Amino acid sequence: MSIFEQLKRNRSEITQAERHYLSHSEQIFFCLKFDNRGAYLEVVDKKGEIVDFDYRQYSGLLRSIAKNIQIVRDRNHFSIDWENPEKRLYLHEHPYLIPQLAESGYFIDEARHTIQFSPEMAGLHLFLKKESENTLSAYLQLHTRQQNFRQFRFINEEYAYVPETKSILETGTVGSFFPELNIFNVEQLPLADLQKYLSLFFSYVDNATLHYENYTVKHTQNPIKASPTLIFEKVDTDNSLYLRIGQIMPNADVDFLDDYDLYRFVSITEMEETINVHPIEQLHLEKHILEIEKVLYKHVEKGKKKKSASGIIREDTLLIIPEHVASEFIYKDIPSLIGDYTLIGSEKLKAYKINVQPPRLDVQLGHGIDFLEGSATLDFGGQTVTLLDAIQQFNKNRYILLSDGSHALVNELYMKKLQRIFKKKKDQKNTVVISFFDLPIIEELIEEKTAQQQFGKTRLIFEGFNDLSNKKTALPRIQAKLRPYQQQGYKWLQYLSQHQLGGCLADDMGLGKTLQTITLLTGIYAKDKKAGASLIVMPRSLLFNWEKELDRFSPQLTHYTWYGNNRNKEDALQHQLILTTYAMLRNDIEQWKEEKFHYVILDESQAAKNINSQVHKSVMLLRATHRLALSGTPVENNLSELYALFRFLNPAMFGSAENFNQNYLAPIQKHDDKAATEELRKKIYPFILRRLKKDVLKELPDKIEQTLFVEMSEAQAKYYEQRRLFYKEAIEQQVASKGIQQAQFFIFQALNELRQIASLPETQTNHAIQSTKVELLMEQLDDAFSNRHKVLIFVNYLAAVEIIGEELDKRGIDFVSMTGSSRNRQELVERFQNEPDCKAFILTLKTGGTGLNLTAADMVFIFDPWWNKAAENQAIDRAHRMGQDKKVLSYKLITVGTIEEKILQLQEKKSLLFENIISSDSASIKALSEEDIEFMLSRK
């Protein structure tokens, strides 16, 4: 039989009564409803009443939907579904109906409003917000390019209904848990449960984007392996041991894997602000149970090797072990097993002469040269062991033998903490040494009275950090008014200097790290005229900015720039401050390593983050009374950078790189060790001052405008000078022969070329000369992106869009760009506004000048200024306008010694003049006088 015969309708099936029914058919609608199982359909009339229907009375798409529904009903009529006794038609079980409903026009909600299908895709987002120090709130949102929705319900894995707009949104596949997603909306989530909550979320929900403070979410294919666990559940009245074999995830409850259906696990690295989502590799528990059984049977008498006679009983994962076997197992086998198994419930082993007293740490310490030193012991309820002996025993046996013959099973995290803090003094058997920087951690381990007696003077230094806000300090005389948070920063810097401690000022971009440092140096040299020179090291791109800032804010400070060919050490040391670059320091370290500086300051200190680099080795050779680092991103990639920073600032804090890796880097990055993380945080906390822009919003003006100066490379400066001389002479000849009015077009061409050489020498030299301004911009952008800012970059030339875009591509930064030829303007705007990973928007002056609302950005870079102040403000206002809830920071990039700097100076003198010159590529320059042109083309 052909396909046509098989599908042909049997006309004889339609009776006369049915024909009458069909002729009097009424309009039907498909009503969307929800219950605990999800979204389902009811066929209703125009009043919303459920109706019977026959699909044959309708035509077109309506008929097709009705027929599909009737087929499902007929099928359900002959089956029993205990989970669906009402025989409801759930859309997640019949997803093929959804596209048909979208086109029908007869899809309604319970209030009989027509449901529309949105053409936009939506993304599912989870937001976590700190409500207090120990609690979070969590809520889900759907995001489209134009709107966000908190109220929605999924009708299947790929579609959600939004009551607010009476619309259906298509999403990515969220997974089979879609009917119950609302349980992840939590008003009060304990911070301690965050890892557990996120592990559940990412196991039950797919294709969702997480937003939590400054954390970065990383999905990895590297699995986290569950660890085998020995759980001592109890010892009964006849001393039989109840031992369960289980598995545990890092920092999770022992029953977490058993209680939930998990296949992803989240580890949170707080120091690096990353949330890592891993697949889970669970254990084959039977293998481990058999392994433990094999070990137990070694202690069963030869004649009782059979399971039935051994006395050992197994119930699933639980082993019930008689006393004589359990005793041998605990003393002889636990020490070797403890390296592979986590022990839980060991405090229940008191009946087996296991000492369950928590150890008390006793110390007697005095001040050495660089460290505190003395004796330390652990007291187990009257049983005393020297600390070094206890550590040695624990590392060898995983327990500590006490003088009464009992064994102390000590918490492994506790012993690791002691090992991190206490070191053996060379050539002295029982003498321990500790670092000054570990005192806050030691105080948590000993009694308050002992802490007062042992560390009275030293602890006052740490307590002093907490009192800084109440301390009144007279500010030195500088040409600036410090904001309150900057005054607090100065107090902190001064306190570090007072106690000869190194620190890192890690404020966000634009908050004035340089100004706070200049204030510190001004105060130091005002009080101590005989203080030696200080060395400030920075990237080459910041040299001129430091010179400008020093001259502007503290002209009384003398400074020398150690850069270029004319470098004289005797002259340099006659100045209070010596400014140089990391590259120059590396090349000239032999000249400087024997000098004793008052301060060594590293600006953008992440330049020395690699301990194996020549730059880091060079800064470590410098001698100084005080050390300071400035960085908006003190840790960019991993904790080894933190070690490199504090190795320079306070070398005694962590010791060798090997010690740091063993004590902190490996436990935190490989094993997500929360105790090590918290300890590291407490250790460095007093010595890093970090304020984000959001933390000091009330103290900031709505707009902050700064100018960043950049020097040309030697090749760029040489080429610029050649073209400047050529045009100076050519313009003089043109004006002399034709007059300034007739020479306008030629003058415009000349100024335009010089502007391009200043910003983008690549465009005039076939890429033979690279732009130093692009280099400076990228340094600033790296800092901005590391601190989660979104930026606008305004340019005047199309070539700048391409060159900057290529640099962002190299760094893997997602961005959008808009030029005069862009036709999808709104799509680009919406992407930048709504997609968290889209971090930059590059716009030309003409396209970015009007009609755009880009409030997702809180930072603006004007790459090659167009001199018209009004146009410049208009560009900044693309970010700073109605709807912006952030403060906007604007940077103007100016190349020193070029027409850019000259026109900037003229702009300040003749603001009205620039309404008529170079405000766009075709602007008139009739308002320029011969003196103005001569000034712009002069060398100085």
> What are the distances in angstroms from CA 369 to CA 241, 436, 654?
52, 11, 17
Mean of per-residue pLDDT scores for the chain: 86
Q: Is the dihedral of CA 862, 866, 870, 874 positive or negative?
A: negative
At 928 the pLDDT is: 65
At 574 the pLDDT is: 95
Residues 6 or more apart whose Cβ sits within 8 Å of residue 529: none
Q: Are 843 and 792 in contact (CB under 8 A)?
A: yes
DSSP conformation letters of 755-815 = HHHHH-THHHHTTSS--HHHHHHHHHHHHHHHTT--EEEEESSHHHHHHHHHHHHHTT-EE
**Secondary structure (3-state) at 711:** coil
pLDDT over threshold 60, residue 25: no
Using CA atoms, how far apart are residues 642 and 670, in angstroms rounded to an integer? 16
Each residue's pLDDT tens digit, 508-560 = 888 999 999 999 999 999 999 889 999 999 998 899 899 999 999 999 999 99
Using CA atoms, how far apart are residues 640 and 613, in angstroms rounded to an integer? 13
pLDDT class for 19, splitting at 50, 70, 90? very low
pLDDT class for 506, splitting at 50, 70, 90? very high
pLDDT class for 910, splitting at 50, 70, 90? low
At 18 the pLDDT is: 44
C-alpha angle with apex 54: 48 to 57, nearest 5 degrees? Answer: 100
Tally of CA atoms within 13 A in the half-sphere of 599 that contains its CB: 29
pLDDT class for 425, splitting at 50, 70, 90? confident
pLDDT over threshold 70, residue 13: no
Each residue's pLDDT tens digit, 917-930 = 444 443 444 556 77
First to last CA, the chain: 97
Length reported for the chain: 940
At 884 the pLDDT is: 52
Beta bridge partners of 383: 380
Nearest to 181 by CA among 196, 167, 195, 160: 160
At 517 the pLDDT is: 97
Higher local confidence (pLDDT), 871 or 588: 588
> What are the distances in angstroms from CA 416 to CA 364, 427, 463?
21, 23, 26
Please state which of the ranges 21-30, 157-166, 255-264, 372-381 shows the lowest mean pLDDT. Answer: 21-30
pLDDT class for 15, splitting at 50, 70, 90? very low
Nearest to 120 by CA among 827, 895, 896, 873: 827
pLDDT over threshold 60, residue 889: yes
Using CA atoms, how far apart are residues 508 and 485, in angstroms rounded to an integer? 12
At 768 the pLDDT is: 92
Each residue's pLDDT tens digit, 641-678 = 999 999 999 998 998 899 899 999 988 888 788 888 88
Q: For the sheet containing 407-408, what is the strand order?
A: 354-355, 407-408, 400-401
Beta bridge partners of 861: 793, 891
Residue 594 has φ and ψ, to the nearest 5°, of -95, -10
Each residue's pLDDT tens digit, 234-244 = 999 899 999 99
At 309 the pLDDT is: 61
Q: What is the percent of the chain where pLDDT is above 90?
A: 46
Nearest to 579 by CA among 609, 550, 610: 550
At 162 the pLDDT is: 94
At 60 the pLDDT is: 85
Beta bridge partners of 139: 127
**Secondary structure (3-state) at 873:** helix
Nearest to 296 by CA among 271, 268, 318, 321: 321
**Would you tell me how many other CB atoms lie within 10 Å of the CB of residue 864?**
22
Higher local confidence (pLDDT), 112 or 633: 112
At 449 the pLDDT is: 65
Average pLDDT over residues 746-751: 86
pLDDT class for 823, splitting at 50, 70, 90? confident
Each residue's pLDDT tens digit, 825-847 = 788 888 888 888 899 999 987 66
Nearest to 756 by CA among 712, 797, 711: 797
Which amino acid type is present at position 931? E
Each residue's pLDDT tens digit, 33-85 = 998 888 999 999 888 888 888 888 888 888 888 898 888 887 776 565 666 66
Q: Are 809 and 659 in contact (CB under 8 A)?
A: no
- Structure letter (DSSP) for residue 272: T
- Structure letter (DSSP) for residue 543: H
Residue found under tokens 């089956």:
79
At 367 the pLDDT is: 72
Using CA atoms, how far apart are residues 836 and 142, in angstroms rounded to an integer? 14
Residue found under tokens 């596209």:
99
Using CA atoms, how far apart are residues 163 and 32, in angstroms rounded to an integer? 11
pLDDT over threshold 70, residue 878: no
C-alpha angle with apex 853: 850 to 855, nearest 5 degrees? Answer: 140
Residue found under tokens 């009992």:
406
pLDDT over threshold 50, residue 255: yes
At 893 the pLDDT is: 93
Average pLDDT over residues 379-390: 92
- Structure letter (DSSP) for residue 300: S
pLDDT class for 278, splitting at 50, 70, 90? very high
Tokens of 439: 């005192």
pLDDT class for 450, splitting at 50, 70, 90? low
Each residue's pLDDT tens digit, 780-804 = 998 888 888 899 999 988 899 999 9
* H or E segment to which residue 605 belongs: none
Each residue's pLDDT tens digit, 307-322 = 556 789 999 999 999 9
- Output the pTM of the full model: 0.78
At 405 the pLDDT is: 84
pLDDT over threshold 70, residue 382: yes
Each residue's pLDDT tens digit, 158-215 = 999 999 999 999 998 999 999 999 999 999 999 999 999 999 999 999 999 999 988 8
